[in-house]
Amino acid sequence: MNRGTGHTHSGAHHSLARCGAIAGLSLSVLVLLTGCIFAPNLPPTARILADVLEGQPPLTVQFDGTQSTDEDGIVSSYQWSFGEGLPSQAMRPKHVYMLPGEYTVMLTVTDHDGASNSAAITVKVIAPNSAPVAVFSYTPTAVLPQETVQFDASESLDGDGWITTYQWEFGDGAVAEGQSVDHPYATPGSYTVVLRVVDDDGAIGTRQSEILVIDTNQAPQPRIEVSSKALDPGDSLLCSANGSFDPDGEIVSYEWDFGDGTRTQGTPASHTYAAEGTYRVTLTATDDLGAKQSAVQTISVGTPTAPPIPDPDPSDSILCKYTWNYGGTRSLSLSIPQSLADYYRGLSRDVWSEDGYSRFVLDPKDDALMIQLRDALLLNNSYQATIENALAFVQKAVSYQLDPAGFEYPRYPVETLIDRVGDCEDSAILYASIVRTFGYSAGALLVSVDTDGDQVMDHIVVFVRVADCFIEAHPDRSLWTISGKTYAFAETAISGGYLALGIDPWGIEQEDIHDIWDVGGSTHALNATRLIAP
């Protein structure tokens, strides 16, 4: 076939392309002389069509090789290579790319005489865009009205691009844009600051934090702990500021005056007295707004030559203020007698005695204070609402710190309320102490659990008795049946955030529970069964 060209092209071995016949007659014999002209076979032309050449995984591409041609014959076969995976011999194959990358797709076509030709294209599979991570800091952490707060989002990042926009909401109706911005607050209160960062592909990352604007700055409350109040000359005195706190901000510096002309800064501190006498150790704490407050401790070295200088009269009470969120911003104040604080700091700490954790929850000296705290937390005169509000209070009021320095043992609720820092034992004891004030209808169990599957107890949580309405509303939460009553998992040690009642971040199962202390009944030989949601 010459396909309109007047020529027929052959394959590799050539074929008869044009023939003419010359006939002659001699002696009645017909002689046919035949002459042939041979032309080479032309290769086909490969052409690739694709419905898409770029996209995110999984990327499905429909390829088409039917536009490939052969000028002097027909295309007899198609061979595809997709840059990955198995090849194909279809005219219109489909291929799915699951991983990001650039892939070279090649089509080789062969004609009826074995000649071949190839074409190639590139398919680009792009990794999905990851959202940016919003991070910001601000100074100072607590301010007075009309003072300016500096916000800095320079630590925000985008792992696969860049951040194009920084958007701020300051919680008082004001907004701003920029990586670093300043903003003053007009009135006291707790404000939720929101930062939104947008990357070059339009993805958004968000971070929020609370800032406290106070009406009047309260002075810090320094506390002195010493290794001994009676020394010999040459002995080393060790001093610590453990238990110091600032009611509405943070302490930024400590200064010690040892009463013999020696001063130093920071905590802990040490000093050696060379001469006998009675000395007054003064600790001055300064908070983030510049307020100062001092505490004094008398130290006797050797045999004093004069009557001891009495300590100044301690304050009658310690004022503690707390702010937290539960259905909105809430706050309360407690006035804790100094004598009550001194009493608890002097008690035994042995949790492994016969009564276990019960001594920390049931000691009667703090009953009046715990009832006062419960009443301040009371919502709608409801046990259920109050224990949830109390959980939010404890999570915010107690900053989690693993075995704080100087406190390698459980602490009593009064100590934890004053110091505002503690480990899982301390916050669990405080929460159980609040719950027990409801009497017979309440229930709080301290539970030792294994959170990492190594068969070793490493954490203390609370199981708190819940009402039927809670069980019906939250059947999918961590609920447990113990002695015929239903309890919800309560995590108290999360340092300032909020984890709702019944939410278990550890995924505790039956085998992870080691001991259950009924702090009201002084027993830890209980069994728990997980309540499975219907």
Token pair listed for 63: 């390829």
297 touches 310 (CB < 8 A): no
| Shared domain check, 268 and 286 | yes
Q: Identify the domain boundary among 312, 333, 357.
A: 312
Q: Identify the domain boundary among 213, 243, 259.
A: 213
| Shared domain check, 452 and 333 | yes
Q: What is the pLDDT of residue 8?
A: 34
Residue 377 lies in a domain: yes
| Shared domain check, 432 and 294 | no
Find where tokens 């076509």 sit: 109
Q: Which amino acid is at 77?
A: S
| Angle at the Cα of 505 from the Cα atoms of 194 and 426, rounded to 5 degrees | 90
Residue 292's DSSP bridge partners are 286
486 three-class SS: strand
| Shared domain check, 66 and 5 | no
Residue 251 lies in a domain: yes
Residue 63 lies in a domain: yes
Task: DSSP letter for 364, please.
Answer: G
- Dump the DSSP string for 138-205: EE-SEE-TT-EEEEE-TT-B-TTS-EEEEEEE-SSS-EEESSEEEEE--S-EEEEEEEEEEETTS-EE
| Shared domain check, 53 and 37 | no
Residue 132 lies in a domain: no
Task: DSSP letter for 315, please.
Answer: P
Residue 246 lies in a domain: yes
Find where tokens 């042939």 sit: 36
How many domains does the chain contain in total? 5
Q: What is the pLDDT of residue 46?
A: 96
| Shared domain check, 194 and 68 | no
Residue 219 lies in a domain: no
Residue 331, classified by CB atoms within 10 Å of its CB into exposed (0-12), middle (13-18) or buried (19+), is exposed
CATH number at residue 65: 2.60.40.10
196 touches 174 (CB < 8 A): no
| Shared domain check, 266 and 348 | no
| Shared domain check, 252 and 158 | no
pTM: 0.44
Token pair listed for 302: 């050797």
Count Cβ neighbours within 10 Å for each residue of 503-525 and write b for 16 or more, e otherwise. ebebebeeebbebbbbbbeeebe
Q: Walk along the chain (534 residues) and give the pLDDT tens digit of each residue.
A: 333 333 333 333 333 333 333 333 333 333 444 445 667 889 999 999 999 999 999 999 999 999 999 998 999 999 999 999 999 999 999 999 999 999 999 999 999 999 999 999 999 999 888 899 999 998 887 677 888 899 999 999 998 889 999 999 999 999 999 999 999 988 877 788 999 999 999 999 999 887 767 655 666 778 888 888 888 898 889 898 887 777 667 889 999 999 888 999 998 899 999 888 888 888 888 888 787 888 888 888 986 444 444 444 445 789 999 998 887 788 999 999 998 998 888 876 655 555 667 788 888 889 889 889 988 888 766 777 788 889 989 988 888 776 544 445 788 999 999 988 888 888 899 999 998 887 645 677 877 777 767 776 778 889 998 888 788 888 888 898 888 888 999 988 875 567 888 888 888 887 888 778 777 655 555 566 776 554
- Other CB atoms within a 10 A radius of the CB of residue 460 amount to 22
207 touches 131 (CB < 8 A): no
347 three-class SS: coil
Q: Identify the domain boundary among 312, 331, 365.
A: 312
Q: What is the pLDDT of residue 11?
A: 37
Find where tokens 């006939």 sit: 23
Q: In what order do the strands lie in the sheet with 49-50?
A: 49-50, 59-64, 94-97
Q: What is the pLDDT of residue 496?
A: 54
| Angle at the Cα of 263 from the Cα atoms of 257 and 269, rounded to 5 degrees | 85
Q: Report d(CA 524, CA 516) in Å as an integer.
A: 5
| Shared domain check, 37 and 54 | no
Token pair listed for 474: 């939250």
Q: What is the pLDDT of residue 521?
A: 58
| Domain limits for position 176 | 137-213
| Shared domain check, 87 and 183 | no
CATH number at residue 403: 3.10.620
Residue 131 lies in a domain: no
Token pair listed for 107: 């089509």
| Shared domain check, 521 and 383 | yes
| Shared domain check, 98 and 2 | no
Residue 220 lies in a domain: no
